[in-house]
Amino acid sequence: MKAAVLTAIAEPFVVEDLEYHPPEPGRVLVRTHATPFCSTDCTNWAGKFGKVPPVILGHASIGEVVEIGSEVRGVSVGQRVLVPGTPECGTCYYCAVGRPDQCSELFDNPRGYPVVATDASGTDIRASGNVGGYAEMMNISANQVFVIESDLPSEVLSLMGCGIMTGLGSVFNAARVTPGESVSVVGVGHLVLWAVQAARLAGASQIFAIDPIVERRELAAQLGATHVLDPTTEDVLDEVRSATGGRGSDHAIEAAGPAASQELAVSLARRAGTVVLNGVKELGTTVTLTQTTIAVQGRTIISTQNGNVRMRRDLPRYVSLLESGGLDAGPIITNRYPLEKINDAMQASRELRDISGLLVFDPS
Ligand SMILES: [Zn+2]
Ligand SMILES: [Zn+2]
């Protein structure tokens, strides 16, 4: 099966034939339908998150189960499954305390990412994030596949495991926006475009979208932002405060990455407001915050991973929002690529030309 392998940091992906390993007792093989190219993988490609080549990137996907390990229960061959960025093992400390977004199967695995295949020279190839979605096949822990029952196309549902989960989870699970509240969003990429839609569904009366790129601000307005602001030409803090009685917004959601964006998000939230931080620019980046903004003024600063998702609760809810038309994927899918064009997909993501560029796979 073909896979796009990151063979060296900051070198083009190499699309090559790999020999996939048969699934171990607790794993499944999934034939990939579609995988969005995520902007996070531009950072991985550049070596800023510590990935070790050779590795297959792509941390959220969708496909069809083609083989199951001997101990796998609850999923069978032929079922369509979502492969999100987060497993839910159900037995680790974090799953036990209701925080599967921090599941030990993803974060505390001493063996590192799993070896899923071998290349022509016999070298082991690992799957980043336990997924490895930039490939025709995925070898996945049964704890990280979720049967999805919907008539929606895989292209749309492929966005569920990263963008939709993170964007919606930031609003519904982390910020917990309620009707009439105000929300600022910093950095209009795919996560924020889902967050804007979620804030609209939650009944937010004001949604301030902040981004230097005019086309992205326009998309945010199309999907529900009530105000759009250009941080390169406008005093964003002043604008948000003057539109909210001088206070700042009830919630501020950041999904940009740079430390300055997170510092801005903290400033945008009013006293006793909520700040949701998603972005990571590079391992080791530090954020500088004025002490009174975090010690005296009552803000709740929430660090999130994949929208602090609980898959078994959130997946059916979010699928139904897509099915009912409450969420619109149309403007977010900006391109489709065959696997062989993955380097074009990355370039478009790096240059901020794509929101979500999908790698789509031949169903045969
Ligand atoms: Zn992602
Ligand atoms: Zn767990």
**For 334-343, what is each residue's pLDDT tens digit?**
999 999 999 9
* Cα end-to-end distance, the chain, whole Å: 12
For residue 162, report the distance from its CA to the centre of ligand 1, in Å: 5
Q: Which ligand is nearest to the CA of 97?
A: 2
The answer to whether residue 5 scores a pLDDT higher than 80 is yes
Task: Round the average pLDDT of the chain to a whole number and report it.
Answer: 96
For residue 309, report the distance from its CA to the centre of ligand 1, in Å: 14
Percent of the chain's residues with pLDDT above 70 = 100
Mean pLDDT, rounded, for 123-136:
96
What is the reported pLDDT for 364?
62
For residue 296, report the distance from its CA to the centre of ligand 1, in Å: 34
List, for residues 145-193, the tens digit of each pLDDT value. Answer: 999 999 999 999 999 999 999 999 999 999 999 999 999 999 999 999 9
Q: How confident is the model at residue 50 (pLDDT cuts 50, 70, 90)?
A: confident
For residue 271, report the distance from its CA to the centre of ligand 2, in Å: 35
Specify the fold of 167-304: Rossmann fold (3.40.50)
Q: How confident is the model at residue 363 (pLDDT cuts 50, 70, 90)?
A: confident
**Cα→Cα distances 125→2, 52, 113, Å:** 12, 10, 10
Q: Which ligand is nearest to the CA of 134?
A: 1
Kindly give the residue spans of alpha helices, DSSP state H, lying in the chain.
40-45, 93-96, 104-107, 154-157, 165-169, 190-201, 214-222, 236-243, 259-268, 291-295, 311-323, 342-350
List, for residues 179-234, the tens digit of each pLDDT value. Answer: 999 999 999 999 999 999 999 999 999 999 999 999 999 999 999 999 999 999 99
Domain positions in the chain = 2-159+332-360, 167-304
Q: Which CATH superfamily is domain 2-159+332-360 in?
A: Medium-chain alcohol dehydrogenases, catalytic domain (3.90.180.10)
For residue 191, report the distance from its CA to the centre of ligand 1, in Å: 8
Q: Which ligand is nearest to the CA of 59?
A: 1
Q: How confident is the model at residue 100 (pLDDT cuts 50, 70, 90)?
A: very high
Mean pLDDT, rounded, for 308-328:
96
